Amino acid sequence: MDATTRLRIEIETLHDLLPDLDYYKILQLDPSCEQSAIGEQYRDESRRLHPDRMRMIEDEDIRRRGNELYQFVNEAYRYLKEPEERARYDQLLSTGIIRMTDDAKAGAQADKRSNDPEAAATNAKSEKYWKMALRDMKDKSWKSAVMNIKFALTFEPGNDVFKEHLVIAEEAFKEEDAKREKNPYKLRIM
């Protein structure tokens, strides 16, 4: 069998399987592979399915399918080359989503926002106070944290993340206040 016929059969077969292939399968990689293997395998697949190589095939439909495969290889590399994007994709893949469509990306962003307190603010005005509150919590300045979270809640009264952190900050402030000396008239002798 000559190289053109082999390539034609391979393109037809891969194109038919395309809806079932995730990014790892299209690059012929194991999902647990090392990050460095992704670039190497991408270069191999990119060379193999490059549109310039498709010019030797006379059938226009096969060339179109080959170009679709090439675009999918590039898409796979785009999402797997960065460790953060790869982790997001792995998370989506575990739920059964094999492509990073707009809906899948929106879901990944929503998951990130729900897991990351930094991204909890959706309003620009509340975000200012929220970031100050997070900094106060990090510095264990509980009174300021409570005040800033309450300010943030005035702009986003339904934000559950704000409410959860408010409870945490209020409890920490109560504990800190209970430990403090209560006699304002006590003199310090130095």
Same domain flag for 40 and 89 = yes
Query: Which is nearest to 81 in space by CA: 50, 121, 46, 47?
Result: 46
Virtual torsion, Cα 131, 132, 133, 136, nearest 10 deg: 130
Domain that holds residue 10: 3-115
| Whether pTM exceeds 0.75 | no
Phi first, then psi, for residue 97 (nearest 5°) are -90, 120
Residues 161 and 119: their CA atoms lie apart, in Å, by 10
CATH number at residue 66: 1.10.287.110
Q: How many domains does the chain have?
A: 2
- Residue 189 domain flag: no
Residue 171's pLDDT is what? 93
Structure tokens at 123: 């309003």
Last residue of a domain, one of 98, 115, 132: 115
- Residue 83 domain flag: yes
Angle between helices 83-94 and 102-115 (to 10 degrees): 100
Cα separations (Å) of 13 from 21, 29, 53, 66, 72?
12, 18, 17, 11, 15
Percent of the chain scoring above 90 in pLDDT: 29
| Statement: residue 52 has pLDDT above 70 | yes
Residues 75-99 have pLDDT tens digits of: 899 989 988 888 888 888 888 777 7
Same domain flag for 30 and 101 = yes
- Residue 89 domain flag: yes
